[in-house]
Amino acid sequence: MIKKVDHIGIAVQSLESALPFYTDILKLPLLGMEEVESEQVKVAFLQAGETKLELLEPMSKDSPIAKYIEKRGEGIHHVALGVDSIQERINEMRENGIRMIHEVPKQGAGGAQVAFMHPKATGSVLYEFCEKK
């Protein structure tokens, strides 16, 4: 049911200051950048072999990423698991008593449908289900 780790989300204060490490030193191809209004984040995707890194910069103080950085500092924010039939996966989690932050998928970056599990249900790891058409 889980196809692969689609990407790892990394919270950064500023894409402009974080990106050169990834593009110039690690030499990872920059796949694209976009703003996700609903989450108030600016996102940059980098290809890292078979998976991707998703750098997340807060666009406002109300952004969940701004709150995350304030509490814990920059660093690994979430692990995204690539799935098919995301609503079925969500339903399976709920049947197993795993609390979901999103009980219906929402629009994420890169045209993906996404849903997050509650970290209290997963040993403090924020997991994202991610389905790309």
Which residues contact Zn ion (rule: CB under 5 A)? 9, 54, 80, 128
- Comparing CB distances to Zn ion, the nearer of 54 and 57 is 54
Q: What token pair was written down for 46? A: 């980098």
- For 20, other C-beta atoms within 10 Å of its C-beta total 10
Antiparallel, parallel or unpaired: β 127-131 and 113-116: antiparallel
- Comparing CB distances to Zn ion, the nearer of 128 and 131 is 128
Q: What token pair was written down for 39? A: 């989450």
- For 89, other C-beta atoms within 10 Å of its C-beta total 20
- Comparing CB distances to Zn ion, the nearer of 24 and 28 is 28
3-state secondary structure of 18: helix
- Comparing CB distances to Zn ion, the nearer of 9 and 58 is 9
- State the sign of the Cα–Cα–Cα–Cα dihedral 17, 20, 21, 22: positive
- In angstroms, give the least distance from the CB of 111 to Zn ion: 13
- In angstroms, give the least distance from the CB of 65 to Zn ion: 11
- Comparing CB distances to Zn ion, the nearer of 121 and 126 is 126
Contact 45, 21 (CB under 8 A): no
- In angstroms, give the least distance from the CB of 80 to Zn ion: 4
Q: Residue 24 contacts by C-beta under 8 Å, 6 or more apart in sequence?
A: none
- In angstroms, give the least distance from the CB of 24 to Zn ion: 23
- In angstroms, give the least distance from the CB of 9 to Zn ion: 4
